[in-house]
């Protein structure tokens, strides 16, 4: 079936896709597209225009039935982004132990700077804002950052353990949030020679990796 409108333009691909997603009221991840034109200004290549052609819109798996509480959190998150003057949009994805929202938009690079410090800040803030009796744990994902970060942390944990085994001296990680510390502990929990513990106060703590005491 031919699309009602297929061509969208913007100063970059992200802006063009943002216009398309708003026009069709779908998340950008469902848009299948190709770049058909890339016009650049004679005096400044950065001031050009990109045109994308939407070739197909993927189908959402099942009808998007979002519980009222989760819909309120989604609205709360997008209001926070708006107040922070960030071009970012949170969309509820799924619930699997935690309630995950996917964040997209032109300012995702700002959210992911310094190992996702700003993304973590929004996640921490919204988890503090929701009533405790909801028993919801909100997770913000952005460009698969957290899934990639898990693999990175597991690799870091193995390298730290290897150094501790080789030199016998404890290894201290830089301060981490609770979710990241948990990945370090999980990665090394079955190591018969190595122990881990969190040190410090507050939200961000350091993980110490050291040789287990015998006996």
User: Mind listing the pLDDT tens digit for each residue in 14-26?
Assistant: 778 878 877 777 7
Residue-wise pLDDT for 138-179, tens only, equals 999 998 888 888 899 999 999 999 999 999 999 999 999 888
CA distances from 186 to 68, 149, 177, 191, 195 (A): 34, 14, 14, 10, 11
Residue-wise pLDDT for 36-57, tens only, equals 776 654 443 445 688 888 888 8
CA neighbours closer than 13 Å in the CB half-sphere of residue 150: 7
pLDDT for the residue numbered 55: 83
Question: Does domain 68-143 match CATH 3.30.300.20?
Answer: yes
Query: Sign (positive/negative) of CA torsion 93, 69, 20, 140?
Result: negative
Domain boundaries, the chain: 7-57, 68-143, 148-211
- Distance between CA 118 and CA 133 in Å, rounded? 26
Q: 63 pLDDT exceeds 70?
A: no
Packing angle between helix 145-167 and helix 108-129, nearest 10 degrees?
90
pLDDT for the residue numbered 61: 56
Q: Which two tokens stand for residue 93?
A: 């994805």
For 148-211, CATH number out of 3.40.50.720, 3.30.1370.50, 3.10.100.10, 3.20.20.60 equals 3.30.1370.50
Q: 187 pLDDT exceeds 90?
A: yes
Concatenate the DSSP letters of all residues of 5-43 into one string. Answer: --EEEESSHHHHHHHHHHHHTS-GGGEEEEEEEEE--SS
Q: Determine contact, residues 70/56, Cβ cutoff 8 Å.
A: no
- Distance between CA 51 and CA 37 in Å, rounded? 5
Q: How far is CA 185 from the centre of its chain?
A: 21
- Distance between CA 143 and CA 119 in Å, rounded? 11
Q: Which two tokens stand for residue 131?
A: 């009533």
């Amino acid at each position: 079936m031919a699309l009602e409108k297929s061509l969208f333009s913007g100063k970059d691909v992200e802006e063009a896709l943002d216009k398309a997603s708003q026009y069709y009221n779908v998340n950008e991840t469902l848009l299948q597209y190709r770049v058909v034109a890339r016009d650049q200004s004679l005096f400044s290549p950065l001031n050009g225009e990109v045109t994308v052609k939407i070739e197909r819109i993927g189908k959402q798996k099942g009808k998007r039935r979002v519980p009222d509480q989760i819909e309120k959190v989604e609205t709360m998150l997008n209001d926070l982004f708006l107040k922070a003057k960030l071009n970012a949009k949170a969309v509820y994805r799924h619930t699997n132990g935690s309630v995950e929202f996917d964040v997209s938009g032109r300012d995702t690079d700002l959210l992911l700077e310094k190992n996702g410090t700003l993304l973590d800040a929004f996640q921490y803030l919204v988890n503090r804002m929701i009533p405790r009796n909801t028993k919801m744990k909100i997770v913000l994902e952005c460009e698969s950052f957290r899934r990639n970060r898990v693999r990175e942390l597991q690799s870091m944990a193995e390298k730290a353990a290897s150094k501790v085994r080789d030199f016998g001296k404890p290894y201290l990680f830089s301060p981490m949030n609770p979710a990241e510390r948990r990945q370090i502990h999980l990665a090394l929990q079955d190591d018969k020679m190595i122990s881990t513990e969190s040190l410090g106060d507050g939200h961000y703590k350091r993980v110490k990796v050291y040789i287990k005491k015998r006996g």
